[in-house]
Amino acid sequence: MTAMSDAMPTDDSHDPALTSWVASANAPHTDFPLQNLPYGRFRRRGSDEAWRVGVAIGDQVLDLKLALAQCPWEPEVAALLQPLAAGDLGGLMARGKGARRTLRAAVSTALREHSEQTPFLELCLVPQREIELALPCRIGEYTDFYTGIHHATNVGRQFRPDNPLLPNYKWVPIGYHGRVSSIGVSGQGVRRPRGQLMLPDARAPVFEACRRLDYELELGVLVGAGNPDGTPLTMAQAEDDWFGLVLLNDWSARDIQAWEYQPLGPFLAKNFGTTISPWVVTQEALAPFRRPFAHPADDPQPLPYLDAPANRERGAIDIALEVWLHSEQMRANGLPPHRLSQSNFADAYWTVAQLLAHHSCNGCNLGTADLLGTGTQSGPQPGQGGSMLELSLGGKQPITLPGGETRAFLADGDTVILRAHCARDGARRIGFGECAGTVLPARPA
């Protein structure tokens, strides 16, 4: 059985009693307290300044380009800030676990109340309301997995009531290769796609706009250094290597998917749009929220290359997930977004380390900033589906929204908002911000 490292330790940067000289970071329900410190790539709205990496702290962003120029740092820390000042988060990601932890410790210390660096860094804050955000890094490759067993069961039951899960599901992390070029950041518009559809009782397909547009509630894993020589990652190496998580909406055209997916799986039904949140919550920030992981005793147990004592002890991550919908009519009538569902990433059937270990087990080269989608994260209870396909039972039971509208699938003008946070006794609540996207009408034929 492969040993796993002592990854995910907590340290003084996780102390829930820590406060920051940035007052908004001390608010009890902020997503970005001192204990989080996620990275994002931004510039001031309306400016033509170069993109740079910043750290979200309360309702502010610490501009790391200015921070490097104006604040004294230890030489090792200054070297780690160099690529971030130039807008290259991948330059830190490629440096591995030690670099991540060194920089987190330095930034945490600098932002704490009574820090000697306060007079310098006060001049390096930018209100989040005054910025625009880009993709947090240049994404290399994109693979979407299928780790949500409740989603797989719910969807499978619609097509195979007596055998919803295929025989390989509990043995192997299922995934498919996606398309990087159509990944965008929160706030984007997503155009309703056109494609081939086979309508009920038809004898030939038609080419028209998707009628069953859907979202999927996922997390995205960003790879650190990867395995550029093609050597499979052990579980220990896989755990050390993932950099952090973002929210991910895998927009899905269900009617196009139903016609095209056999025998090779998703294609045009998935690659027209993927939205991720702009702030990368690092592995270190998530350390207090790790949980024991195990497959049910009656299920097949992971093969040795996917197993390790530390993965069983702390492989799962307790992340509360939510989906909200805000229709065009709701916005016009002044109604707030409506929550469609809740679930938790702790229910995933495979851990983050298992995804990296499996992806690389055949020698596949994972690179810095490769993105791995987790698959749709649904909960075990009715109403916890991570997609409209589940919540509406394939369109058979439309959902009623505030104001009286109904939805079986998404309508033009609908904004889908994903949110997530981690909370437990003895730890500071941290969040992911939002991953939002609005459905735009299909382009004219």
Give catalytic residue positions: 151
CA distance 195 to 205: 10
293 and 149 in contact (C-beta within 8 Å)?
no
Amino acid making up residue 49: E
DSSP category for residue 428: -
Amino acid making up residue 54: G
The answer for residues whose C-beta is within 8 angstroms of residue 369's C-beta and 6 or more apart is: 89, 90, 93, 137, 138, 139, 140, 222, 223, 243
CA distance 188 to 377: 22
The answer for residues whose C-beta is within 8 angstroms of residue 422's C-beta and 6 or more apart is: 286, 288, 289, 317, 318, 319, 320, 429, 430, 431
38 and 312 in contact (C-beta within 8 Å)?
no
**Distance from chain centroid for Cα 392:** 24
CA distance 118 to 164: 57
CA distance 236 to 128: 37
Give the relative orientation of helices 75-85 and 97-111 as an angle to the nearest 10 degrees: 100
29 and 429 in contact (C-beta within 8 Å)?
yes
The answer for residues whose C-beta is within 8 angstroms of residue 226's C-beta and 6 or more apart is: 241, 365, 366, 367, 368, 370
